[in-house]
Amino acid sequence: MRIQSPRGTSDVLGDAALAREQLEGTARGILERAGYSRIETPSFESTELFARGVGEATDVVQKEMYTFDDGGGNSITLRPEGTAPVCRAYLEHGMHKLPQPVKLWYHGAYFRSERPQHGRYRQFWQVGLEAIGSDDPAVDAESVLLLAEILEAIGVQARLRISSLGTPDTRAEYKHELQDYLRAHEHELSGEVRGRIDLNPLRAFDADHPGTRQVMAAAPLLLDRLNADDREHFETVKRLLDGAGLAYEIDPTLVRGLDYYTRTVFEFTSDALGAQSGVGGGGRYDGLIEELGGPPTPGMGWAAGVERMLLAAPPAPTAPPPLDLYVAHAKPEYKDPAFKLAADARRAGHSAQLELGGRSVKGVFKQADRAGARYVAILGADGTTLRDMESGEQRVVDSDTVMHHITHGL
Ligand code: AMP
């Protein structure tokens, strides 16, 4: 049996590879103009980082991590998300000594052992940012705006929902209130939601089960329980987004899959995507750095799925890069000078490809045409035959003058 790529992974070829490069370039331009600099963290980390950072009770940590022993008794996990690793790096490199906030962006592969479906993979790519060290609501609004700008630039039409989760204390109190409410309605809930009342009652808002949905329609909302500071923070975020002309909906039931969020949370969804409609999202995580053993440090970030963005806004096919010269030899003894000519042409800054398929002269022209070559050089006993593929003009030239001709014409 032939070996295939593992389930939920795929190869990136041709136009798809170009589209990804373009997307990365668009994101880089927008984020670097706003003062974000690039960070790359390893593809795997200590399992404990995600257990502590993402939260033991989350689906990601409970079911979706690729975890293995590194052979030396250390538990390692392929990164399922980027925020905890960036916070780990912030602490490890003493970035609290830099002017705050530290603004970082990234683009890389992430791994979750989920059931694959359209838009959901086991290895997927994310572009993301983290702004660590400021609790200014302008950080929240600006980062949301930057993702909106990226989505607009690549042509993704997305709906923005925002909410606030408050601070851990408010959340803990609210959690008890919600648990009491859920227990009072236990018999109407789905088995799964009932089983999670103790561990993660907020997830009940995510349920599709009709009985659960009915119960949740009348459930108390965290947004109505925020303390004065959190309410003011949220009001400022909304005011800044209004001022920037960015449309959003307030969704008091917005829960994100990861435990570390505080205050602002948001998500962009696209109707073009079907069931897996989340294009990107994130929020504030003012307790995460402390959870990882650092000093109390506020932070805000998001991540957006590269595959999902490209599914939501399929890019137009791009033209192949221009090819200045296609080089072949007519006889075996001209193999070496042909090889050298292609290499010299590239060193001189031209794009040049060498005939590597052993084609006949007719085949060479056909292949050069397919590759979009402007000039074809065939080295033989009479000298170098140079053809301008645009005009069809062909001449035998001195091999030393090929470079001159492909710059200045035949
Ligand atoms: P999350 O960290 O779950 O909020 O994910 C952020 C973004 O990454 C989502 O909005 C998706 O666009 C993308 N994403 C998350 N999980 C997957 C997956 N399994 N396959 C493809 N994209 C994903």
| pLDDT tens by residue, 2-21 | 999 999 999 999 889 999 99
Cα 233 to Cα 267: distance, rounded to the nearest angstrom: 18
Whether the pLDDT of residue 258 is over 80: the answer is: no
Confidence at residue 274, expressed as pLDDT on a 0 to 100 scale? 86
Does the bond joining 101 to the residue before it have cis omega, within 30 degrees of 0?
yes
Give the position, in ligand 1's atom list, of the atom nearest the Cα of 81. Answer: 2
pLDDT mean over 41-62: 90
Whether the pLDDT of residue 320 is over 90: the answer is: no
Q: Confirm or reject: Cβ of 114 under 6 Å from ligand 1.
A: yes
Give the position, in ligand 1's atom list, of the atom nearest the Cα of 80. Answer: 2
302 in Cβ contact with 284 (< 8 Å): no
CA of residue 282 to ligand 1 center, whole Å:
11
Q: Looking at ligand 1, which residue's alpha carbon is closest to its atom 8?
A: 305
Q: Looking at ligand 1, which residue's alpha carbon is closest to its atom 13?
A: 305
> Sorting pLDDT into bands at 50, 70 and 90, what band is 360?
very high
CA of residue 21 to ligand 1 center, whole Å:
19
pLDDT mean over 138-161: 97
pLDDT mean over 305-334: 92
CA of residue 305 to ligand 1 center, whole Å:
5
Q: Average pLDDT, whole number, for the chain? A: 94
Give the position, in ligand 1's atom list, of the atom nearest the Cα of 304. Answer: 7
Characterize the bridge pairing of strands 123-132 and 159-164: unpaired
> Sorting pLDDT into bands at 50, 70 and 90, what band is 55?
confident
Residue closest to 147 by CA, chosen among 298, 299, 302? 302
As a whole number of Å, the end-to-end CA separation of the chain is 53
pLDDT mean over 390-406: 93
pLDDT mean over 97-118: 97
Least confident range of 41-50, 258-267, 342-351: 258-267
- Cβ neighbours, 10 Å, residue 179: 14
Confidence at residue 271, expressed as pLDDT on a 0 to 100 scale? 93
Q: What percent of the chain has pLDDT over 90?
A: 85
Confidence at residue 276, expressed as pLDDT on a 0 to 100 scale? 85
Q: Confirm or reject: Cβ of 166 under 6 Å from ligand 1.
A: no
CA of residue 239 to ligand 1 center, whole Å:
28
pLDDT mean over 391-400: 93
Return all residues near 119 (Cβ < 8 A) that are at least 6 apart.
Answer: 273, 274, 275, 276, 305, 307, 308, 311
Whether the pLDDT of residue 103 is over 70: the answer is: yes
CA of residue 124 to ligand 1 center, whole Å:
8
Whether the pLDDT of residue 164 is over 70: the answer is: yes
Confidence at residue 43, expressed as pLDDT on a 0 to 100 scale? 98
pLDDT mean over 200-214: 89
Stretch (H or E) spanning 294: none
Residue closest to 81 by CA, chosen among 303, 230, 251, 252? 303
Whether the pLDDT of residue 297 is over 90: the answer is: yes
Confidence at residue 61, expressed as pLDDT on a 0 to 100 scale? 85
> Sorting pLDDT into bands at 50, 70 and 90, what band is 257?
low
Q: Confirm or reject: Cβ of 260 under 6 Å from ligand 1.
A: no
